Amino acid sequence: MAGSMIVPTFVGNGCISYEPRPIPTLEAPDDVVVRIEACGICGTDLNILAVPPAHKATPGIIIGHEGVGIVEQFGSDVSGLQVGDRVVIANRLTCGRCIYCRRGLDNQCTNYQTIGTTVDGAFAPYLRAPARALWTIDSAVPRDDAALFEPLACAVGSIKRATFQAGDNVAIIGAGPMGLLFALMYRAMGAGKIIVIDLAPFRLEFARTLGLDEALNAAEVDSADKVKQLTGTGADIVVDAVGNQLAQAIALARRGGQIILFGLRPHDSPPINQYTITRYDLTVHGTFVGLHPFAQTIQLLESGRVQPSVLVTDRLPLGELERGVEMMRTQQAMKVLIDMEL
């Protein structure tokens, strides 16, 4: 295993630089070394590489958290893993000691590290990670479905916040990779109509290829009117996968409906009409990355009932990470995977 690898490291100010790094080896007894097969580019990576940054990352680290790979080595304290197992990454390293961890709300841990933002991530041929961050997945699951484990887990964990009944009509604002993962999930769960809304023609065209009921361009139609027309009352459940669309979400929901706020736009303060929430008995759920979604997400991927790789439009070698980021940023691609086997 000795040797070095050339990896993109995060410099800061939107820049990465390709540098040699030693191939990681076991340090702690609970460490695992994983040979990465593929790693998805996430909206979080776009935010880290934005100028000014819209998401924090520690300069000098390797980013990337949507990784799938094969166990190469593990430390003496690790049990339940074999060399050769395929694993996916649950990237949040919670402390287990803060009051939120102790209350079981580990997505609210006040003392967390994250693989790919504060410690080295998976845009690299090899990753060292503690065993608790890794989940084994059946090798029969296609590699590129497994690569989307982390974003799918975010959808799985967020969806459970809003009571759902088969047949519910769902409107999703934002037809990027996350919005479409919500759509695939709701379709698998037996939703009634699924309507996605965006401004980007590429994304709407892509959504249409998935066979969703409607893909509305909010620049061309009044989406509230249209959703009302399609559903009779407004959507039973509205998902904001953008992060600043609460006012629009309120307009799309039926009386008594529910809204899931998933997107993250920390600097936006959209004006909203609180009266409407009160008058029409709306329920608004804020959800952050989902609480305890991992076991079910593995089971779901192993069932094959949701195949998130349908969102992958491009596969690029590690040396073209910046090009992949640009393709997603300019919305010429839906989901880009960095493929370590290219």
- Supply the minimum distance, in Å, between the C-beta of residue 172 and Zn ion: 18
- Supply the minimum distance, in Å, between the C-beta of residue 231 and Zn ion: 31
Contact call for residue 109 and Zn ion (CB under 5 A): yes
Stretch that binds Zn ion, among 40-48, 121-129, 130-138, 286-294 (CB under 5 A): 40-48
As a whole number of angstroms, the distance between CA 98 and CA 112 comes to 10
Among 98, 218, 264, 291, binds Zn ion (CB under 5 A): 98
Give the other-Cβ count within 10 Å of 6's Cβ: 12
Stretch that binds Zn ion, among 60-68, 160-168, 259-267, 291-299 (CB under 5 A): 60-68
Contact call for residue 134 and Zn ion (CB under 5 A): no
Cα-to-chain-centroid distance, residue 26: 28
Phi and psi angles of residue 337, each rounded to the nearest 5 degrees, phi first = -105, 135
- Supply the minimum distance, in Å, between the C-beta of residue 229 and Zn ion: 35
Question: Scanning residues 262 to 301, which ones bind Zn ion (CB under 5 A)?
Answer: none
Stretch that binds Zn ion, among 77-85, 95-103, 135-143, 332-340 (CB under 5 A): 95-103
As a whole number of angstroms, the distance between CA 47 and CA 325 comes to 10
Contacts with 299 (C-beta within 8 Å, 6 or more apart), sequence order: none
Closest CB to Zn ion among 94 and 245?
94
Report DSSP state, residue 214: E
Query: 129: which strand partners?
Result: 32
Contacts with 211 (C-beta within 8 Å, 6 or more apart), sequence order: none
- Supply the minimum distance, in Å, between the C-beta of residue 302 and Zn ion: 20
CA-wise closest residue to 328 among 39, 43, 8: 43
Report DSSP state, residue 290: -
Closest CB to Zn ion among 94 and 287?
94
Phi and psi angles of residue 219, each rounded to the nearest 5 degrees, phi first = -80, -15
- Supply the minimum distance, in Å, between the C-beta of residue 34 and Zn ion: 17
As a whole number of angstroms, the distance between CA 98 and CA 90 comes to 19
Contact call for residue 42 and Zn ion (CB under 5 A): yes
Closest CB to Zn ion among 39 and 196?
39
- Supply the minimum distance, in Å, between the C-beta of residue 271 and Zn ion: 29
Contact predicate 23/7, CB 8 Å:
no
Stretch that binds Zn ion, among 38-46, 81-89, 211-219, 225-233 (CB under 5 A): 38-46
Contact predicate 63/45, CB 8 Å:
yes
As a whole number of angstroms, the distance between CA 114 and CA 133 comes to 10
Question: Scanning residues 143 to 162, which ones bind Zn ion (CB under 5 A)?
Answer: 150-151
Closest CB to Zn ion among 217 and 331?
331
Among 34, 88, 90, 101, binds Zn ion (CB under 5 A): 101
Closest CB to Zn ion among 72 and 314?
314
As a whole number of angstroms, the distance between CA 63 and CA 115 comes to 8
- Supply the minimum distance, in Å, between the C-beta of residue 220 and Zn ion: 30
Contacts with Zn ion by CB under 5 A lie at 42, 66, 94-95, 98, 101, 109, 111, 150-151
